[in-house]
Structure 1
């Protein structure tokens, strides 16, 4: 069953162009990922464009079409594997999806411990 809801808000990529999320937002996204991972579910495409921040400030994951079972589901054969997205080194077209890949992508959105929101390097 697919449940859809209309969300008003902006994606995290637009709101936080550095890719780093504020602490409160990050904590809620991390909590959602922990729920999925506890059930051996991989999100697969965890990136700021797939996180909507509602007008109330609540993060919501969107774009669940890649979700699947850890080390069983596969990435799509047309995966965007250009340098535009910094995937985990184990991510490949038609490759197995892993919870470790989600954790890598989540870690890339972790708030900067120095308080800076700039990821340019």
Structure 2
């Protein structure tokens, strides 16, 4: 509680502590004649009381046998062809809480592989910049790959509204470096879908990209992308529509 305001939050211990609000910030300085608000607050406190009682009973009856599985998600089975498949976690593939991917095995020791789309051994463009690993001879190929991907979306009237270096993967091949797009959460129909109301204000978005503005591919602009390689710079000029821009923040590059 903060003064005459209160909020109910829930916390869980994972590899780190995660706390999330379960209610909004609710004032207790309400008009007692407002029966709807009175009943709402009464129900909340009653529910909180019941929840704390059940949580207390849960911990009293909890088996305290040490298990390394306590560090992993609680889901340890899934239905398949009418039966439940049990599995145990082995390890987390990446030490990154924003990309939680786990390795697991069945009770018979068989490794479980779930391919959502395809595993790509690649590094994001911004990380390639930082490491100075963008090859000068690959700049044009990278540009053409991105342009082709954006073009395929535009053919279906879709706009890639979050084209930043962190959403471009660079794949090293024997011949050169190739590029592909990831993170299609902000991909939407041109002039129908809108930019999110939670746009990061610390990012320099392109002209026309703002909160609740429609994602559009009508306005054309030139965006310069500086690629750092072997103490030299090569410049890629992106001729892409609004909603498919490379942001200023993505053009930052370290010098060799």
TM-score class, shorter-chain normalisation, is 0.7 to 0.9
Contact 1:25–1:59 (CA<8 Å) still a contact in 2? yes
TM-superposed deviation, 1:110: 7.1
2:216 matched residue in structure 1: 98
Counterparts of 1:6 and 1:65, CA distance in 2: 19
Distance 1:61 1:79 in 2: 20
TM-fit CA distance, 1:96: 0.9
Scaled by the length of structure 2, the TM-score of the pair is: 0.38
**Separation of aligned partners in 1, 2:189 and 2:199:** 18
Partner of 2:14: none
Equivalent in the alignment of 1:80: 200
What are the equivalent positions in structure 2 for 1:46-65 lying under 5 Å apart? 46-56=163-173, 57-65=177-185
Change in 2 beyond 3 A, CA 1:100/1:86:
farther
Query: Which protein is richer in strand relative to its size?
Result: 2
Ranges in structure 2 where 5+ consecutive residues have no aligned partner: 1-115, 133-137, 236-250
Shift of 1:58: 2.1
Greater Rg by CA: 2
Corresponding residue of 1:67: 187
The TM-score normalised by the length of structure 1 is: 0.74
* CA deviation vs aligned residue, 1:11-62 (integer Å, no higher than 9, x gap): 00111259xx812101111111111112211010001100011232321100
Q: Which has the higher helix share?
A: 1
Cα distance in 1, alignment partners of residues 217 and 208 from structure 2: 11
> Larger RCO: Structure 1 or Structure 2 (Cα < 8 Å, ≥ 6 residues apart)?
1
Give the distance between the partners of 2:164 and 2:215, measured in 1 at CA: 15
Equivalenced residues, count: 110
The one-character-per-residue Cα deviations of 1:82-103 (angstroms, maximum 9, x if unpaired) are 3xx33222111122111257x6
3-state SS of 2:185 partner? helix
